[in-house]
Chains A and B, each alone.
Chain A
Amino acid sequence: DAMVIQNPRYQVTQFGKPVTLSCSQTLNHNVMYWYQQKSSQAPKLLFHYYDKDFNNEADTPDNFQSRRPNTSFCFLDIRSPGLGDAAMYLCATSEGQGGPTDTQYFGPGTRLTVL
């Protein structure tokens, strides 16, 4: 089945140790998104790619970076994780141009723990 896959599902890292989360999709969608969802809160958009064009949200900390080497893969890099970065990280995709009509399809998320 076509889907959005996130690896790993659970990631533990140490304070300040760089970590990379992975997302892949078999939907061949143009747009890929990364959201941060803290406990009992709504998902918060960090950034998205429309094809190779990167769009960063104004309030996304510089500590968070992303790479999209091809259509299928997108990575979230946290350069120096702090305790406040512990959260569920959700990857999503949408087809089209990512406008308001787009329906987003989400992966299962990666739960990041920072020790």
Chain B
Amino acid sequence: AQKVTQAQTEISVVEKEDVTLDCVYETRDTTYYLFWYKQPPSGELVFLIRRNSFDEQNEISGRYSWNFQKSTSSFNFTITASQVVDSAVYFCALSEAGFKTIFGAGTRLFVKA
């Protein structure tokens, strides 16, 4: 069965600190996709990244980076030099064959000035 675990319910950091959001997933499929979404206070989920199960290459996009490790079934997200505008709820999600995407419970990030 699919499962996504985001063990960190809330994280609070001071601006300019680096922060890593953890995501651990469970799946029996060999082909699957992992996503990160950001949900700011306005409510809209914003797509950040998609990664397929065959591509373990880490990715960097500006201050964001993602570390995908199949050996530990983890897809962690790091924000470097955090800013107040990064404050949001971040969801990790898993999608297998078929339509359904399973979301983790989310991690609420507070970045204080």
A associates with B? yes
Residues in A lying within 8 Å of B, measured CB to CB: 31, 33, 40-45, 48, 50, 55, 57, 88, 90, 92, 98-109, 111
Closest chain B residue, CB of each to CB of A90 = B45
B97 in the interface, Cβ–Cβ < 8 Å? yes
- A-B interface, 4 closest residue pairs, ranked by CB to CB distance from nearest: A42-B103, A100-B95, A106-B45, A109-B43
Give the complex CA separation of A33 and B93 in angstroms. 15
The B interface is mostly helix, strand or loop, or mixed, namely loop
Give the complex CA separation of A30 and B36 in angstroms. 22
Closest chain B residue, CB of each to CB of A44 = B103
Inter-chain contacts of B42 with A (CB < 8 A): 108
Could you list 5 examples of A-B contacts with CB < 8 Å? A57-B100, A100-B98, A103-B35, A105-B47, A108-B42
Closest chain B residue, CB of each to CB of A109 = B43
Take A103-B35, A106-B46, A108-B42 as given contacts and tell me if A45 and B97 are in contact as well, using a CB distance cutoff of 8 Å: no
CB distance from A14 to the nearest CB of B (A): 23
The answer to whether A111 touches B35 (Cβ under 8 A) is no
The answer to whether B105 touches A101 (Cβ under 8 A) is no
Inter-chain contacts of A108 with B (CB < 8 A): 42-44
Give the complex CA separation of A107 and B44 in angstroms. 6
Inter-chain contacts of A50 with B (CB < 8 A): 99
The answer to whether B47 touches A98 (Cβ under 8 A) is no
The answer to whether A45 touches B44 (Cβ under 8 A) is no
B8 in the interface, Cβ–Cβ < 8 Å? no
The answer to whether B91 touches A42 (Cβ under 8 A) is yes
CB distance from B107 to the nearest CB of A (A): 11
CB distance from B23 to the nearest CB of A (A): 12
Give the complex CA separation of A42 and B92 in angstroms. 10
B45, B46, B52, B96: the one contacting A43 at CB < 8 Å is B45
Closest chain B residue, CB of each to CB of A92 = B45
B101 in the interface, Cβ–Cβ < 8 Å? yes
Give the complex CA separation of A88 and B106 in angstroms. 15
Closest chain B residue, CB of each to CB of A98 = B99
Give the complex CA separation of A106 and B44 in angstroms. 6
